[in-house]
């Protein structure tokens, strides 16, 4: 069986990086079409130069293409609002699946090392956010060992790596990521913060993960986290611990107040991560693109095996 043909909606930073990854790295997927709304976008120009079908008429233009019949998987790298419209047009075509790289979250949250197998047969899955893909595996790793009362993540990305789509979705980023920390990561309460860092030269993506869990074996938690980091590294080579895992015991007589769940004691775990990009489209500082597109491609590769 040959490769499964795919289309990408959204020729911005994320969509263009994903296109290059599929071209260079995927054993299961074949680029067929790039879809946008700006005829002058760099992503559409690159796709056309490389011989792929293109349209600047959005999803309606894609459906009108002769290539549409052979396309089985569509990656949506537009915006949360646009995804709702795109899915309404794609849903009637029963042989098509969509991998949503926006924070729309119509389909369930999917973080490959945590819940890929459980969601493979669904037609619309959501890749959460770049911060979610980097940090939720860590929350899940702690949850394997101990009940997590609270999970908080801070994602810091280079301002230059945040295109118009990312900037338009800041509110959705925090809401979607916080929700996924709970639903996928296993925390009773989640919180997410994103920082667009204007530093020059640009810094690589940095993520900080805090969890407050029941008291548990610290070495078991450390081992679980290291195993999860290795799993993520299998498809995002630039993903790594920035420092060793740190622990602090919050005693019962000195609990901390967490909005939504009240006073809690237990074990605080802090994990510092960095994500260096592969430099396929933007420079290495754009690890936020790399982890998002790598996770999406890993999902698409697995979905392709269903056809």
User: What residue spans define the domains of the chain?
Assistant: 4-127+290-304, 130-284
Under a CB-based contact definition with an 8 Å cutoff, are residues 34 and 65 in contact?
no
Would you call 143 helix, strand, or coil by DSSP?
helix
Q: Is 260 left (phi over 0), alpha (psi -120 to 50) or beta?
A: left
Q: Token pair of 218, please?
A: 């610290």
With CA atoms as reference, report the closest residue to 31 among 42, 14, 16.
16
What lies within 8 Å, CB to CB, of 140 at 6+ separation is 111, 113, 114, 184, 185, 186, 228
Instruction: Specify the pLDDT at position 168.
Output: 82
3-state secondary structure (DSSP) of residue 182: helix
Could you please report the per-residue DSSP string of 35-49?
Answer: E-S-TT-HHHHHHHH
Q: Let me know if 203 is a catalytic residue.
A: no
Q: Are both 4-127+290-304 and 130-284 of the same fold?
A: no
The reported pLDDT for the residue numbered 34 is 98
Cβ-contact 275, 2 below 8 angstroms: no
Residue 232 neighbours by CB under 8 Å, 6+ apart = 113, 137, 239, 291
Fold of 4-127+290-304: Rossmann fold (3.40.50)
Question: Which DSSP letter does residue 54 get?
Answer: E
- Residue ranges of alpha helices (H) inside 159-249 are 164-168, 170-183, 218-233
Q: What is the pTM assigned to this prediction? A: 0.95
| Tens-binned pLDDT, residue by residue, of the chain (307 aa) | 689 999 999 999 999 999 999 999 999 999 999 999 999 999 999 999 999 999 999 999 999 999 999 999 999 999 989 999 999 999 999 999 999 999 889 999 999 999 999 999 999 999 999 999 999 999 999 999 999 999 999 999 999 998 887 888 788 889 999 999 999 999 999 999 999 999 999 999 999 999 999 999 999 999 999 999 999 999 999 999 999 999 999 999 999 999 889 999 999 999 999 999 999 998 999 999 999 999 999 999 999 999 9
Which helix (H) or strand (E) segment holds residue 207: the answer is strand 205-213
Cα→Cα distances 162→61, 166, 219, 285, 288, Å: 27, 6, 37, 11, 9
pLDDT at 164: 81
pLDDT, residue 163, reads 80
Predicted local distance difference test score (pLDDT) of residue 1: 65
Q: Which residues pair with 269 in a beta bridge?
A: 211, 247
- Give the pairing type, strands 256-258 and 262-264: antiparallel
CA distances from 165 to 124, 221, 259, 277, 306 (A): 20, 36, 30, 19, 30
CATH superfamily, domain 130-284, is Dihydrodipicolinate Reductase; domain 2 (3.30.360.10)
Q: How many residues does the chain have?
A: 307
Please tell me which residue in 6, 80, 99, 130 is annotated as part of the active site.
Answer: 130
Mean pLDDT of the chain: 96
Asked whether 128 and 151 are in contact (CB, 8 A), the reply is: no
């Amino acid at each position: 069986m040959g490769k499964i043909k795919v289309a990408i909606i959204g020729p911005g930073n994320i969509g263009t990086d994903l296109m290059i990854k599929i071209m260079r790295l995927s054993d299961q997927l074949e680029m067929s079409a790039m879809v946008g709304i700006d005829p002058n976008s760099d992503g559409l120009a690159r796709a056309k130069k490389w011989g792929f079908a293109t349209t600047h008429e959005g999803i309606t233009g894609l459906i009108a293409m002769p290539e549409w019949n052979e396309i089985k998987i569509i990656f949506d790298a537009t915006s949360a609002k646009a995804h709702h419209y795109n899915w309404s047009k794609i849903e009637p075509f029963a042989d098509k699946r969509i991998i949503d790289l926006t924070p729309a979250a119509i389909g369930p949250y999917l973080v490959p090392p945590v819940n890929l197998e459980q969601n493979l047969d669904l037609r619309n899955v959501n890749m959460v956010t770049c911060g979610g893909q980097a940090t939720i595996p860590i929350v899940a790793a702690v949850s394997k060992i101990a009940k997590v009362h609270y999970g908080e993540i801070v994602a810091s990305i280079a301002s230059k790596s945040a295109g118009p789509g990312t900037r338009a979705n800041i509110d959705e980023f925090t809401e979607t990521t916080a929700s996924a920390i709970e639903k996928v990561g296993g925390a009773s309460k989640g919180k997410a913060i994103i920082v667009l860092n204007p530093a020059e030269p640009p810094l690589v993506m940095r993520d900080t993960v805090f969890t407050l869990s029941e008291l548990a074996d610290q070495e078991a938690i450390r081992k679980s986290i290291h195993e999860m980091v290795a799993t993520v590294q299998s498809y995002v080579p630039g993903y790594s611990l920035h420092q060793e895992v740190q622990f602090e015991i919050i005693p019962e007589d000195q609990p901390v107040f967490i909005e939504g769940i009240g006073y809690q004691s237990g074990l605080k775990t802090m994990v510092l991560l960095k994500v260096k990009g592969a430099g396929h489209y933007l420079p290495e500082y754009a690890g936020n693109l790399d982890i998002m597109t790598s996770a999406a491609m890993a999902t698409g590769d697995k979905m392709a095996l269903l056809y």
